[in-house]
């Protein structure tokens, strides 16, 4: 007998908590609308009490998205719950998601509260939320490490108080599938009023088992899973939406006919959009949406796929929205061909964004014969949002020799002036970064610097990803790609600085 699984997407809340993945309001709305096209059931749009910006984004998404339920996260205090309701009340279908930890470790070390106090807080929170909306979700944070009898007593009480959904998270990714199956099954069987609520799970990926544990929970009776696009999220991330959905679709009998209402052809476009706006690249061997997910290099594999795709592919690339488009782009290609190609790759750009990509595409096409999909994806994912551009790189020159110090001369343009300076370093990139540091007053430290080749060959684009941290530990990411790796490094560094400067201007 088949059963429907609700997809609770938390890309905009837990996913955005990935270091460096912060999105502005416009980007969040774009992601929310894409999630609506994808067909998720619930969007957790944010944590309204956490900041004015988060409140406004949840409120705006609630006003802008009509065909999916919008949820706001809150702790179990009334101020949080009231604030969440003020944000989500504009949604056609709304929800309040309240949580408190139930493990003794969290109670003793974090909350400094007794079991009885937490029990009372959970019940009061659900009743408060229920006074606002019919759809209330309650989560037992750190459920997988909680005492079973105590947690079940809390679950029973919140269901009696009106909880629509009870979520049992593996908050720190500690469980393994066989254990988690028994855990979910035991709770459902042990709680006498479990038939009056939807049981959900929220699995983290610290041991790489987020998806496996989510599927085990479905097998055990859960009918909602909480997940994110590309599996982004705290630490090692969350269970990946695309992997859960396609596992159910590819092997329905293994999960007793469980299905979702997700439009799988929107999976790839959703993945590309989230990667673009967060700056978090999708690993090439990522299941379902990675660059190599449907690629075959070994001769035996190629022969088999040419004879019948089923020999080495258990799903069609087209079923997740990955096109089989053989259109080759070069320096003679026009904007219409570029737009069609980008749409086929899952990118829908505004006219302004397309023009910026087109200029970059033409510059690259003049330097190499063929512009590959990977090149285009890199250009688009750089995310040249104009509101970040406090500093623009106008000119850079380097001088170096085997018996001297490399020297960088750089010219920057701001909204009000031009800045020209030079500096020396141990190496060329060190000289560039130290010179930019002198020219920009922002206070930060360089956390990570990564260079990789986008395609093969000596004419490959070099993609640079830079991460910097401000004095509060907030992470800002800059990505740029050029045939010249020094230029790419300088632009990526400036993009990260521009994001930091923009964030400071909003505080």
Side by side, the strands of the sheet bearing 445-453 are 445-453, 462-469, 475-482
Cα 201 to Cα 101, 166, 198, 236, 338: the distances in Å are 14, 8, 10, 17, 42
What distance in Å separates the CA atoms of residue 427 and residue 446, rounded to the nearest whole number?
16
Residue whose tokens read 């069987």: 189
> Do residues 399 and 372 make contact, with C-beta atoms less than 8 angstroms apart?
no
Q: Is residue 95 over pLDDT 60?
A: yes
User: pTM for the whole thing?
Assistant: 0.74
> Do residues 76 and 121 make contact, with C-beta atoms less than 8 angstroms apart?
yes
Count, residues in the chain: 507
| Bridge partners, residue 477, by sequence | 467
Residue 40 token pair: 């998720």
Given this model, what pLDDT does residue 301 score? 47
Return the beta strands (E) in 113-233 as ranges. Answer: 136-141, 165-167, 198-202, 224-227
The region, left, alpha or beta by phi > 0 then psi within -120 to 50, assigned to residue 112 is: left
pLDDT in tens, 416-456: 889 999 999 988 889 999 999 999 988 899 988 888 766 55
pLDDT in tens, 288-328: 988 777 764 444 544 464 566 677 677 888 888 876 644 55
Average pLDDT rounded to a whole number, residues 259-285: 91
Q: Is residue 401 over pLDDT 60?
A: yes
Give the 3-state DSSP-derived string for 217-240, with helices as H, strands as E and coil as C: HHHHCCCEEEEEHHHCCCCCCECE
What distance in Å separates the CA atoms of residue 480 and residue 256, rounded to the nearest whole number?
46
pLDDT in tens, 455-477: 555 556 677 888 888 888 888 87
Q: Which of 206-220, 268-282, 366-380 has the highest mean pLDDT?
A: 206-220
**Mean pLDDT of all residues in the chain?**
88
CA torsion 248→253→258→264, rounded to 10°?
30
Handedness of CA 14, 15, 19, 25 (dihedral sign): negative
What distance in Å separates the CA atoms of residue 104 and residue 119, rounded to the nearest whole number?
12
What distance in Å separates the CA atoms of residue 255 and residue 208, rounded to the nearest whole number?
20
Residue 193: CB atoms within 10 Å: 12
**CB-based contacts of 215, cutoff 8 Å, min separation 6:** 177, 244, 247, 248, 255
What distance in Å separates the CA atoms of residue 202 and residue 217, rounded to the nearest whole number?
10
What distance in Å separates the CA atoms of residue 162 and residue 496, rounded to the nearest whole number?
46
What distance in Å separates the CA atoms of residue 30 and residue 22, rounded to the nearest whole number?
14
Q: Which of 397, 377, 378 is nearest to 492 (CA)?
A: 378
Given this model, what pLDDT does residue 457 score? 57
Element spanning 180, H or E: helix 177-190
Average pLDDT rounded to a whole number, residues 34-40: 98
Q: Domains along the chain?
A: 6-278 (3.20.20.70), 299-381 (no CATH), 386-506 (3.30.160.270)
Residue 454 token pair: 């986008």
Average pLDDT rounded to a whole number, residues 133-150: 98
Q: Is residue 372 over pLDDT 90?
A: no
> Do residues 212 and 254 make contact, with C-beta atoms less than 8 angstroms apart?
no
What distance in Å separates the CA atoms of residue 490 and residue 464, rounded to the nearest whole number?
9
What distance in Å separates the CA atoms of residue 399 and residue 221, rounded to the nearest whole number?
66
Written as one string, the DSSP assignment of 43-60 is EEEE-GGG-HHHHHHHHH
- Residue 100, φ and ψ in degrees, nearest 5: -155, 150
Residue whose tokens read 């600085």: 497
What distance in Å separates the CA atoms of residue 16 and residue 277, rounded to the nearest whole number?
10
Residue 264 token pair: 């799988």
Q: Which of 292, 299, 494 is nearest to 411 (CA)?
A: 494
């Amino acid at each position: 007998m088949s059963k429907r699984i609700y997809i609770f997407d938390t890309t905009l809340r837990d996913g955005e908590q990935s270091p460096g993945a912060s999105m502005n309001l416009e980007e969040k709305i774009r992601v929310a609308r894409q999630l609506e096209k994808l067909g998720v059931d619930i969007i957790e749009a944010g944590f309204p009490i956490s900041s004015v910006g988060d409140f406004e984004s949840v409120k705006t998404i609630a006003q802008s998205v009509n065909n999916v339920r919008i949820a706001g996260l809150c702790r179990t205090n009334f101020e949080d719950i009231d604030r969440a309701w003020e944000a989500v009340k504009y949604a056609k279908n709304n929800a309040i998601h309240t949580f408190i930890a139930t493990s003794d470790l969290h109670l003793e070390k974090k909350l400094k509260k007794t079991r009885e106090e937490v029990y009372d807080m959970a019940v009061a929170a659900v009743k408060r939320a229920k006074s606002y909306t019919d759809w209330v979700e309650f989560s037992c944070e750190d459920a997988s490490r909680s005492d079973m009898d105590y947690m079940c007593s809390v679950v029973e009480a919140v269901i009696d108080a009106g909880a629509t959904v009870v979520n049992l998270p593996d908050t720190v990714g500690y469980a393994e599938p066989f254990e988690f199956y028994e855990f979910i099954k035991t709770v459902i069987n042990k709680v006498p009023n479990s038939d009056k609520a939807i049981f959900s799970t929220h699995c983290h990926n610290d041991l790489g088992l987020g998806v496996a544990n989510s599927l085990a929970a479905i097998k055990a009776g859960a009918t909602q899973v909480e997940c994110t696009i590309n599996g982004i999220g705290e630490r090692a991330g969350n269970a990946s939406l695309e992997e859960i959905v396609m596992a159910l679709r590819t092997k329905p009998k293994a999960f007793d006919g469980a299905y979702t209402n997700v439009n799988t052809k929107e999976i790839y476009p959703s993945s590309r959009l989230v990667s673009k706006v967060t700056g978090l690249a999708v690993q090439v061997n990522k299941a379902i949406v990675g660059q190599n997910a449907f690629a075959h290099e070994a001769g035996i594999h190629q022969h088999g796929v040419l004879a019948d795709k089923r020999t080495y592919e258990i799903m069609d690339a087209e079923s997740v929205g990955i096109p089989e488009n053989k259109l080759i782009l070069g320096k003679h290609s026009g904007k219409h061909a570029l737009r069609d190609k980008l749409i086929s790759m899952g990118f829908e750009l505004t006219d302004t964004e397309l023009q910026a990509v087109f200029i970059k595409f033409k510059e690259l096409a003049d330097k190499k014969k063929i512009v590959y999909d990977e090149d285009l994806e890199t250009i688009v994912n750089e995310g040249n949002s104009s509101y970040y551009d406090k500093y623009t790189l106008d000119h850079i020159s380097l001088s170096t020799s085997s018996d001297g110090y490399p020297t960088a001369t750089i010219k920057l343009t701001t909204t009000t002036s031009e800045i020209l300076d030079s500096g020396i370093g141990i190496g060329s990139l060190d000289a560039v970064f130290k010179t930019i540091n002198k020219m920009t007053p922002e206070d930060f430290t360089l956390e990570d610097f990564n260079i990789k080749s986008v395609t093969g060959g000596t004419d490959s684009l070099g993609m640079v990803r830079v991460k910097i941290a401000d004095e509060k530990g907030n992470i800002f990411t800059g990505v740029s790609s050029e045939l010249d790796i020094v230029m790419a490094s300088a632009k990526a560094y400036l993009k990260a600085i521009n994001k930091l400067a923009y964030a400071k201007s909003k505080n």
